[in-house]
Amino acid sequence: MTIRTRILLVDDDIHLVHSLGDWLTDRGYCVEVATDLGGARQQLAEQEFDVLITDLRIADEDGFDLIRSTAKHHPSVAVLVMTGYAGPHTAVEAVRAGAFDLLTKPISDEELLLAIDRAISHQHVEQANETLRKQLDRRRGLESILSHDYRMMKVFDVIDSVADTQASILITGENGTGKSMIARAIHHRSSRRGGPFVEVACGALPDTLLESELFGHVAGAYTGAATDRMGKFEMADRGTLFLDEIGTATPAMQVKLLRVLQEFQFEPLGGMETRQSDTRVILATNQDLESSVASGSFRQDLYYRINVINIALPPLRERPGDIPLLIEHFIREAGQTASRDVEGFDREALAVLQTYRWPGNIRQLENVVERAVLLSSDRVLGVHDLPPELLGADNRPGREMDGQRTASAIQPPAYNLSANHAVASRWNNASLPTSGRSLREALEFPEREIILQSLRRHAWNRAATADELEINRTTLYKKMKRLGLDDPRLQYAL
**Which CATH architecture fits 144-314?**
3-Layer(aba) Sandwich (3.40)
Q: What is the pTM of this model?
A: 0.56
Lowest mean pLDDT among 298-307, 374-383, 427-436: 427-436
Domain 6-135 falls under CATH 3.40.50.2300:
yes
CA distance from start to end of the chain = 42
Residues 210-268 have pLDDT tens digits of 988 999 998 888 877 788 888 999 999 999 999 999 999 999 899 999 999 988 899 99
Percent of the chain with pLDDT over 70: 83
* Length of the chain as a residue count: 494
State the fold for domain 315-431.
Helicase, Ruva Protein; domain 3 (1.10.8)
Q: CB within 8 A of 420, min separation 6: which ones?
A: 459
Side chain identity at residue 176, one-letter code: G
What pLDDT was estimated at residue 369?
A: 95
How far, in Å, CA of 375 to CA of 387, rounded?
A: 11
Going from N- to C-terminal start, the domains of the chain cover 6-135, 144-314, 315-431, 436-494
Which residue spans within 195-330 are E strands per DSSP?
Answer: 197-201, 240-244, 265-266, 275-276, 280-285, 309-312
How far, in Å, CA of 114 to CA of 116, rounded?
A: 5
Which residue spans within 407-455 are E strands per DSSP?
Answer: none
Lowest mean pLDDT among 172-176, 229-233, 384-388, 470-474: 470-474
Query: Of 178, 108, 96, 172, whose CA–CA distance to 142 is shortest?
Result: 178
Contact at 8 Å (CB) between 341 and 379? yes
The CATH classification number of 436-494 equals: 1.10.10
Q: Greatest CA separation found in the chain?
A: 92
Burial 134-143 (b: 16+ CB within 10 A, else e): eeebeebbbb
Identical topology for domains 315-431 and 436-494: no
3-state helix, strand, coil split of the chain in percent (to 5) is 50, 15, 35
